[in-house]
């Protein structure tokens, strides 16, 4: 519910009662509404490999991964899962499971090696072949245009997303994709997790292109944590609006597809029932999901961001606001976990820097009084809180008038332990319970609460190169043997999903 307090609307967090699931087949595809889409998800840089083949240009992640000390296990994605060459077999794996769709990204630098200029026909040919193979096997392509792999040439030329020129270049690239593939691709996603790459790439410097205020992280050679995340986010949102306008005006009328964006969001619960913590929890949501969804719904950033960031937060013109508002057919949500949130006025370094993490005036942690919020997966940030997905869907329904939502990522990882045998690694009961319980809560959000959710994509089809964590985390339904020609082995979760989808 919403209550008036001090002139601001403050969300009173009523957490949905968690529906207890177990590892049995309690739910199935038929539990969900007709037409609900089930799929798996991936990205070009994490999967394709072949980074120097068929005219592909270098990306900011190639540069980052080959810089000493940036990746936990000192690995890179030069080969990754080699899906560039092995996609036929991977498509068969999806087909055998009964999946409806595959979400993958196109590598901008395969279409335009320099970000703009001459089209690389070999890259176009590859994606044509890939898309045709998916459709021939009954798998619907959901294509992400940008999944973090900016062409390095644009970073060198004008600092990439920090420059408004990126809007024009991204629009040109996107329109090329609509023209070349849009007769068969009916589901487009402009950006994946702009919040993540704005903060991780330009505030704390832990991801490409590794920019931040030098006082914050000594290994950042350049950057300004107080301003750059907001500039990048602004240019990305304007790029999204530009691309959606082109698609709706020139391509959607005859191609009859849909277009959206994938936004990442934790769910947050207040550490206490105090007004200060409840307000801080709302700000945590504002500076995570609200930062990007509110311009698309209302045409502007959240009020809390305007108030707290001030002149460092760029402003939209009236025409930009009008173009942004309603610039989607669906909103993708990438959701994995839930943390606690509380008021924070003691982040001295953050306050001095005025960086985006400190600007919210909220602290978020997966602990309360030293006790974790729930059981943890492998990643230090990923705690398994199934009711969080129901709470988040209800929050979006209530605050943003129930837009069409697709869960474009949800999943958990195991450690890549060299002492664990493949046989034991395939026994992923924890992953089965994760998906069963999250899906059970998602189903309740749809059927009991009326949330407008139409699809669910598992992250991920295969174990993959996991950005700064390298190969240390295994998110896949299929185990990839990095020591034996990247052979794929079905984990027990594959059998669970096959039963779920075909029973």
Composition of the chain by helix, strand, coil, percent to 5? 40, 20, 40
Closest CA to 69 of 165, 210, 188, 189: 210
Q: Which DSSP helix (H) or strand (E) runs through 10?
A: strand 8-11
DSSP state of 188: E
What three-state secondary structure class fits 429? helix
The tokens for 58 are 């270098």
Distance from C-alpha of 277 to C-alpha of 283, rounded to nearest angstrom: 10
For residue 416, which of 353, 357, 479 has the smallest C-alpha distance? 479
The C-alpha atoms of residue 131 and residue 358 are separated, in whole angstroms, by 43
Contact residues for 357 (Cβ-Cβ < 8 A; gap 6+): 199, 203, 204, 347, 350
SS (H, E, C) 25-93: CCCCHHHCCCCCEEEEECCHHHHCCCCCCCCCCCEHHHHHHCCCCCCCCCCCCCCCCCHHHHHHHHHHH
**Which phi and psi (to 5°) does residue 473 adopt?**
-120, 140
Q: On the CB side of 184, how many CA atoms lie within 13 Å of its CA?
A: 17
Query: Which tokens in the block code for residue 366?
Result: 């997966």
Residues 6 or more apart whose CB falls under 8 angstroms from that of 165 comprise 158
Task: State how far the alpha carbon of 453 is from the alpha carbons of 81, 298, 366, 457, in Å.
Answer: 31, 20, 27, 12
Write out the H or E segment, with its range, that includes residue 445.
Answer: helix 429-447
Q: Which residue has the tokens 């309360």?
A: 368
Q: What is the largest CA-CA distance in the chain?
A: 62
Residue recorded with tokens 């669910």:
456
- DSSP state for residue 211 in the 8-state scheme: -
CA 192/CA 187 separation, integer angstroms: 14
Point out the residues that are catalytic. 193, 409
First to last CA, the chain: 38
Q: What are residue 224's phi and psi, to 5 degrees? A: -145, 100
């Amino acid at each position: 519910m919403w209550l008036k307090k001090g002139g601001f609307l403050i969300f009173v967090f009523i957490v949905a009662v968690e529906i207890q699931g177990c590892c049995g087949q309690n739910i199935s595809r038929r539990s969900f509404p007709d037409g609900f889409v089930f799929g798996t998800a991936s990205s070009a840089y994490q999967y394709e490999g072949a980074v120097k083949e068929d005219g592909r240009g270098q990306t900011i992640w190639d540069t980052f991964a080959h810089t000493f000390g940036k990746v936990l296990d000192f690995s890179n994605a030069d080969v990754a899962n080699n899906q560039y060459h092995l996609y036929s077999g991977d498509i068969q794996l999806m087909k055998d499971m009964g999946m409806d769709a595959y979400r993958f990204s196109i590598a901008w630098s395969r279409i335009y090696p320099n970000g703009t200029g001459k089209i690389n026909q070999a890259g176009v040919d590859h994606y044509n072949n890939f898309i045709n193979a998916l459709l021939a096997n009954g798998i619907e392509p959901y294509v992400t245009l940008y999944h973090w792999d900016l062409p390095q040439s644009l970073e060198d030329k004008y600092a990439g997303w920090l420059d408004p020129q990126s809007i024009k270049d991204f629009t040109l690239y996107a329109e090329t994709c609509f023209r070349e593939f849009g007769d068969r691709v009916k589901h487009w996603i402009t950006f994946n997790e702009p919040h993540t790459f704005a903060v991780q790439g330009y505030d704390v410097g832990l991801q490409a292109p590794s920019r931040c205020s030098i006082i914050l992280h000594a290994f950042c050679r350049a950057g300004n944590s107080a301003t750059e995340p907001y500039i990048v986010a602004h240019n990305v949102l304007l790029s999204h609006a530009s691309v959606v306008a082109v698609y709706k005006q020139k391509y959607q009328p005859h191609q009859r597809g849909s277009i959206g964006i994938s936004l990442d969001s934790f769910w947050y619960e207040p550490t206490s029932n105090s007004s200060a913590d409840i307000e801080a929890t709302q700000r945590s949501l504002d500076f995570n999901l609200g930062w990007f969804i509110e311009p698309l719904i209302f045409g502007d950033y959240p009020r809390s961001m305007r108030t707290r960031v001030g002149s460092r937060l760029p402003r939209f013109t009236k025409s930009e606001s009008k173009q942004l508002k309603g610039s989607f057919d669906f909103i993708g949500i990438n959701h994995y976990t839930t943390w606690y949130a509380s008021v924070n006025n003691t982040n001295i370094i953050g306050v001095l820097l005025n960086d985006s993490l400190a600007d919210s005036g909220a602290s978020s942690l997966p602990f309360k009084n030293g006790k974790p919020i729930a059981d943890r997966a492998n990643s230090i940030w990923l705690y398994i809180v199934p009711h969080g997905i129901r709470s988040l869907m209800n929050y979006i329904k209530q605050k943003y008038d129930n837009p069409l939502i697709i869960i474009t990522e949800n999943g958990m990882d195991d450690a890549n332990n060299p002492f664990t045998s493949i046989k034991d690694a395939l026994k992923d009961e924890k992953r089965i319970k994760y998906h069963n319980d999250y899906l059970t809560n998602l189903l309740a959000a749809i059927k009991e609460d009326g949330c407008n959710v139409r699809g669910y994509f598992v992250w991920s089809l295969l174990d993959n190169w996991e950005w700064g964590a390298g190969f240390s985390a295994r998110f896949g339904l299929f185990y990839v043997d990095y020591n034996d020609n990247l052979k794929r082995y079905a984990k027990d979760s594959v059998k669970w999903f096959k039963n779920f989808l075909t029973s």
